[in-house]
Amino acid sequence: MNLAFSDEQNELRRTVRDFLEKNSPETEVRRLMETAEGYDPDVWHQLAAELGIAGLAVPEEYGGAGCGFVELGIVLEEAGRALLCAPLLSTVVLAASTLLELGDEGACADYLPGIADGTTLATLALTESTGRWNDPDAVTCTASPSGGTGGGADTGGWTVSGRKSFVPDGQTAALLLVVARTDAGLSVFAVAGDVPQVRREPRATLDQTRRQADLTFTAAPARLLGTDGAAWPALERVLDLAAIAVAAEQVGAASRVLDMAVDYAKTRVQFGRPIGAFQAIKHKLADLHLAVESARSAAYHGLWAAAESPLELPAAASLAKACCGDAFVTAATENIQVHGGIGFTWEHPAHLYLKRAHSSRQLFGNAAHHRQRLAQVLLAELPETPALPA
């Protein structure tokens, strides 16, 4: 296991941080929160096409840079820090990973180059009304062959019907990767976002920096990706990668709010001293430091496992998501407490991070879910003779 970053990876971090400081300051985040699209197409184009962010983890044969998940994780950590409003999680993590994990070479060749150069926005439509990510039984959307060859190549020969909820960037994605049930089992279908058989209803989100939509499919033309009925194992890996991606983002954001709280504690004076001189504040911030550094360790390990160690991926993903989600919520909550009244206002950015924290904590399974999953792994790995303390 190698947790050290290379010079190139450190350089990537500096480049992305500089770019986001210029292009995603708080004023921009607040402006985009109020727009219908929820992101800035120009900034996305620069990130995707000029900095090559969208294709970082896409293989070169499909138009990407062929780097690993570690590089993508560095970008996500910085994006989390800046609360970047962009379709990074939906397009680059969820959709690209789904295409790659399904292993459908034709679909990869057709869709990944557009994702890698930033022209295609895409997402994964998995969750339905229950909002459960990791439960194949919760999928009720259906797909059936559209019959004969009448559909032609454009329609792909299938139709999808049913309703999806909580779909990240579901209102803007041009390419929807929809999980639906066929006679053979769970499968993934490519559906165009702008066809009349798809109704898109944006949700009012707690975290205005990340959009969701409900999608209703009424015999929408669809193309089967990969093998009919065999999608779930691939989707489980996608969810693990997505959990690690969000964990990296959470660490970046948690680290940012800790910095914010520390800076404020050094300058805010009450009772004639900076409040950071009081032990009540010192110890609170020291505890946040423990939480953030522990979370960062779990997230970096997750990135390493995603890039290098498929066997360890499920446990690494659960470790990262269980740890980072709660660390970010704690840090965002205590940041407001350290700031006092000003931290409770709309004008102060503290609430933006709290909302991102609570919202991203539920994505791809919350901490309680991932702890149960981790326990399952631990029990499965336990040697036959129970170990007792020496």
Partner 1 sequence: MPNPAAPVSDRPAEGRSEFQARVHEWFTANAPRKGSPEDFSAVHIVSAATAEEYRAQEQHAISVTRTWQRRLFDAGLAGRSWRPEYGGHGAPDWQDEVVIEEQARWGVSTKMFAVGLEMVPAVLFRHGTHEQRATFLPPILRGEHSWCQLLSEPGAGSDLANVQTRATPVDGGGWSVTGQKVWTSNAGCSEYALLVARTGSREEGRAGLSCFLLEMAQPGVDIRPLRQMSGAYHFNEVFLDDVHVPENGLIGAPGEGWAVLRTMLASERAAIGGGTSARSATQLVGLARTLGCDGDPVVRDLLAQAAIRERTLDLLRARIAAGHAVAAAGPTTKLLYSEHARLSADAATTILGMAATVVDDEVSAPWIERLLFAPGLRLGGGTDEIQRNAIAERGLGLPR
- Give the binding range for partner 1 (CB under 8 A) out of 38-46, 98-106, 143-151, 369-377: 369-377
According to CB under 8 A, which residues from 300 to 329 bind partner 1? 300-301, 319, 322-323
Residues in a beta bridge with 141? none
269 is a contact residue toward partner 1 (CB under 8 A):
no
Residue 225 or 285: the one with the smaller Cβ distance to partner 1 is: 285
In this chain, which stretch among 61-69, 164-172, 214-222, 381-389 interacts with partner 1, using CB under 8 A? 381-389
User: What is the C-alpha to C-alpha distance for residues 299 and 319, in angstroms, rounded to an integer?
Assistant: 8
Binding to partner 1, residues 74-93 (CB under 8 A): none
Helices 367-381/313-339 angle, 10° precision: 140
Part in contact with partner 1 (CB under 8 A); list of ranges 88-96, 182-190, 221-229, 291-299: 291-299
Among 298, 336, 350, 357, indicate the residue that binds partner 1 (CB under 8 A). Answer: 298
Select from 20-28, 102-110, 260-268, 345-353 the region that touches partner 1 (CB under 8 A).
260-268
Determine which helix (DSSP H) or strand (DSSP E) holds 122, and give its type and residue range.
strand 122-125
Q: Contacts with partner 1: how many residues (CB under 8 A)?
A: 46
Whether the Cβ atoms of residue 251 and residue 80 lie closer than 8 Å to each other = yes
Q: Are strands 122-125 and 175-182 parallel, antiparallel or unpaired?
A: parallel
Residue 106: Cβ-neighbour burial (10 angstroms; 0-12, 13-18, 19+): exposed
- Please report how close the Cβ of residue 92 comes to partner 1 at its closest, in angstroms: 25
Rounded Cα–Cα distance for residues 108 and 104 (Å): 6
Cβ atoms of 251 and 302 closer than 8 Å: no
On whether the CB atoms of residues 68 and 4 are closer than 8 A, the answer is no
Of 109, 184, 195, 290, the one binding partner 1 (CB under 8 A) is 290
Q: Report the DSSP beta bridge partners of residue 230.
A: 186
Q: Determine which residue in the list 1, 36, 204, 311 makes contact with partner 1, applying CB under 8 A.
A: 1
**Residue of 46, 140, 297, 362 that binds partner 1 (CB under 8 A):** 297
Q: Does 215 bind partner 1 (CB under 8 A)?
A: no
Helix axes 279-308, 69-81, angle to 10 degrees: 150
Of the pair 342, 375, the CB lying nearest partner 1 is at: 375
Task: Determine which residue in the list 118, 226, 276, 325 makes contact with partner 1, applying CB under 8 A.
Answer: 276
Q: Where are the alpha helices (DSSP H) in the chain?
A: 7-23, 26-33, 41-45, 69-81, 96-102, 105-116, 152-155, 232-267, 279-308, 313-339, 350-362, 367-381
The least distance separating partner 1 from the CB of residue 373, rounded to whole angstroms, comes to: 8
Q: Are 73 and 244 in contact (CB under 8 A)?
A: yes
**Distance from the Cα of residue 301 to its chain's centroid:** 17
The least CB distance from residue 222 to partner 1, in Å, is 38
Write down the least CB distance from residue 249 to partner 1, Å.
18
Can you give the binding site for partner 1, defined by CB under 8 A? 1-4, 262, 265-266, 273-274, 276-277, 279, 281-283, 285-287, 289-290, 293-298, 300-301, 319, 322-323, 368, 370-372, 374-376, 378-379, 382, 386-390
